[in-house]
């Protein structure tokens, strides 16, 4: 057993986990099921109680986690919340025990760098480790983890990453993982938007949706939307991928801004950003991202997949 893993086994110093929502909760659960002692905090008491029921210790504050755990994981929804948890009053920066932050959030490279600098002043290392694969990947332990940080810090927590999925070391500086994650998410959300338009166009032209997806996936147009999200969440009309439209807007917004800051003109990215923002404005921010198809159907005066099937029969 690697020394970094042995230090965190049940009965030793607990690991900390702050932010146990859609992604954080299944990741925290996997740590507990792997035998690690865990102290968790989230404003959602129900989420904390679910983990406490299987062995986690429920903390009453961020500071309590930082006072009891040497290594703390975060999975938080916005750059503002992440910065407050890390550097704000009662935050990780003031903790007596914490020496390493492992951040699974998607907050952008500029925020990650600022937090890493603020924590380093207090002797706390930051490992930038955003993940891709959605809630399903978090549950199965099949996430892609884009890791950036000092080699000594990575060596200590590397065995823990194996619990969550496959590790890709992308750099030595916090923020590099964030950049790659944002680029990945921008590609994914742009692919879903254009696939939605193609899907609705095909329906309006009388094509069978399932045949259409099969043909595209056998050809050069296949992408993450056609291979995964449409077959599993759109064609069955379940719309339950587990990632809200509002989070897509946040991620693609951060991605476009970072790319522009690097001097890249974002013609396509900006258009995709506008599509998602418009969907969010139609009372859709909290809806599952796969429901974008419903908005494209409405904008196109298309009755939807169910009506299309009725007409074909």
Active-site positions read 181
- The kind and range of the H/E element at 57 are strand 57-58
Q: Which 3 state secondary structure label does DSSP give 60?
A: coil
Spatial separation of the C-alpha atoms in residues 95 and 25, rounded to whole Å: 23
CB atoms within 10 A of CB 132: 18
* DSSP secondary structure letters along 114-176: HHHHHHHTTT-EEEE--EESHHHHHHHT-EEEEEES-HHHHHHHHHHHTTTEEEEEEESSTTH
Residues 6+ apart with CB under 8 A from 164: 27, 30, 131, 138, 141, 143, 145
**Both tokens assigned to 193:** 């938007």
The residues facing 147 across adjacent strands are: 169
Spatial separation of the C-alpha atoms in residues 191 and 279, rounded to whole Å: 15
Spatial separation of the C-alpha atoms in residues 125 and 174, rounded to whole Å: 10
- The kind and range of the H/E element at 17 are strand 15-18
- Tell me the pairing of strands 143-148 and 131-132: antiparallel
Question: What is the b/e burial string over 99-122, where b = at least 16 CB atoms within 10 angstroms of the residue's CB?
Answer: bbbbbbbbbbbbbbbbbbebbeee
């Amino acid at each position: 057993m690697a020394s970094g893993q042995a230090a965190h086994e049940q009965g030793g110093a607990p690991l900390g986990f702050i932010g146990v929502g859609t992604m954080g909760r299944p990741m925290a659960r996997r740590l507990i099921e792997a035998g690690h002692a865990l102290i968790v905090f989230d404003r959602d008491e129900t989420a904390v109680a679910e983990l406490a029921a299987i062995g986690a210790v429920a903390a009453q504050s961020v500071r309590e986690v930082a006072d009891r755990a040497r290594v703390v994981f975060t999975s938080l929804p916005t750059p503002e919340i992440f910065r407050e948890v890390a550097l704000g009053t009662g935050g990780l920066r003031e903790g007596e025990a914490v020496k390493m932050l492992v951040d699974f959030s998607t907050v952008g490279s500029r925020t990650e760098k600022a937090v890493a600098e603020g924590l380093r002043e207090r002797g706390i290392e930051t490992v930038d480790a955003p993940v891709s694969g959605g809630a399903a990947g978090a549950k199965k332990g099949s996430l892609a983890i884009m890791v950036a940080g000092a080699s000594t810090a990575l060596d200590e927590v590397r065995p823990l990453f194996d619990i969550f999925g496959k590790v890709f070391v992308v750099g030595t500086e916090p923020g590099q993982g964030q950049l790659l994650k944002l680029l990945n998410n921008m590609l994914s959300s742009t692919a879903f938007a254009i696939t939605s338009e193609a899907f609705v166009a095909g329906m309006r032209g009388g094509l069978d949706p399932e045949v259409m997806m099969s043909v595209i996936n056998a050809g050069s147009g296949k992408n993450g939307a056609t291979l995964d999200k449409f077959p599993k969440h759109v064609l069955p009309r379940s719309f339950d991928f587990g990632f809200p439209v509002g989070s897509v807007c946040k991620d693609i917004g951060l991605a476009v801004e970072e790319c522009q800051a690097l001097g890249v003109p974002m013609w396509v990215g900006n258009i995709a950003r506008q599509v998602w923002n418009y969907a969010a404005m139609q009372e859709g921010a909290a809806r599952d991202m796969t429901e974008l198809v419903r908005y494209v159907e409405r904008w196109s005066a298309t009755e939807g997949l169910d009506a299309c099937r009725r007409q074909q029969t």
